[in-house]
Structure 1
């Protein structure tokens, strides 16, 4: 009887380990484990606005007066063009609405790098600046690419002219669909300082729509053509380069 009870307890323990392992794998592959973002498939998302090819949803966040948003679009450009834009550390000013300054800093590589950016706010609200860690990953098997952008405010000294954003989490998910790309953008930001939640929540809807529309246009510029995705022997995305640099004819 004791042996049966022991074997039963062992099966329960193994089951808990397997459940925890499966849960951990799911969270890590979903891209939301460390970002603190709401699940993309949550039933609590509310559709706020829809254009021809972009839908924007918002959701309340616990212990915050600022909502998170989710924007979903099918952009009429291939994923290689979009990634060529995304790896340019100065491209924020080209496509993100109200981004007025952006550049890379510190040491980093394709998988993990660092960026500084400034966001114009409506007068008389003080402009905000961001210090971000950007992580990029992708698998050749399905072609999907995920980028996480998380605020790391203490990595650079604060600027006198701006208010530093100390909490911001963003997820970009790019899914190839032939010569088009489905983009999912999930973000929640605590803008810091004295700024009313209603103002930020009002801006949430138009920012992703204007930005995604502009991203689609920017990705068609000549400078972002003829790029390709480079994978390692394990099928993991390692770089995005002009085709001439890959060694192909």
Structure 2
């Protein structure tokens, strides 16, 4: 991206995605760990799907990761099963709306959503958060694609040294429609791991190395 998973995994583009409050889950259970990437699941009250949390560390500056997350047109290069992603509206250097399509194995219908990304910076702790709930409107719903309407999550980026950050990503999502157990399990196990491996490579690319935080966050 729970379903927890499906979007978590899938997007983790994701990106994106909560309001000003944090998740209440406290009983996270480790699902899998690989190459320093830990994936946890937690039950969600009133939901048939679980929330997902991913933890890892990167040798990169916080501004570089923010630049990758806000560079939505290139998220197909690292977000698991993302078919396309386009900018819908750039509100400011630290806020935008984007539209993404998620490709799923046949015969399951593909998904799409509109995300709203906002970046905030705590000047005392230097912790950066990137929120991006799925929002209605902006792009009409399409036939043969299930619109993800309910999704919330959050990136928390904590500097731990020069060009070194700790990353936490939490996602809770309802993928809509009926999803077979094998598909949910596949995304729960493979999606976050693959996306965060790809993200490690993405954040190390030259175009992000000299990135600066948006001027309104400094």
Mark yes or no: TM-score above 0.5. Answer: yes
Count of residue pairs brought into register by the alignment: 201
**Residues 1:54 and 2:40 are matched in the alignment:** no
**Residues 1:154 and 2:137 are matched in the alignment:** yes
CA contact (8 A) 1:65 1:197 kept: no
TM-score normalised by structure 2 residue count = 0.83
CA contact (8 A) 1:36 1:169 kept: no
Q: Which residue does the alignment assign to 1:10?
A: none
With a CA cutoff of 8 Å and minimum separation of 6, indicate the structure with the bigger relative contact order.
Answer: 2
Higher Rg of the two aligned structures: 1
CA contact (8 A) 2:93 2:214 kept: no
Structure 1 CA distance for aligned equivalents of residues 20 and 71 of structure 2: 24
**Residues 1:171 and 2:171 are matched in the alignment:** no
Structure 2 CA distance for aligned equivalents of residues 61 and 34 of structure 1: 18
CA contact (8 A) 2:149 2:174 kept: yes
Structure 2 CA distance for aligned equivalents of residues 35 and 160 of structure 1: 34
Between Structure 1 and Structure 2, the one with more strand by share is 2
Structure 1 CA distance for aligned equivalents of residues 47 and 180 of structure 2: 11
Q: Which residue does the alignment assign to 1:199?
A: 183
| Runs of at least 5 residues in structure 1 that lack an aligned partner in the other structure | 1-30, 239-249
Q: Which residue does the alignment assign to 2:167?
A: 183
SS of alignment partner, residue 153 of structure 2: strand
| Runs of at least 5 residues in structure 2 that lack an aligned partner in the other structure | 1-16
Between Structure 1 and Structure 2, the one with more helix by share is 1
- TM superposition shift of 1:203: 1.3
Structure 2 CA distance for aligned equivalents of residues 36 and 140 of structure 1: 19
> What's the CA shift string for 1:130-177, capped at 9, x where partnerless?
111112101233221101111113332102241101111121111112
- After superposing on structure 2, the runs of 4+ consecutive aligned residues of structure 1 that deviate more than 3 Å are 31-39, 196-199
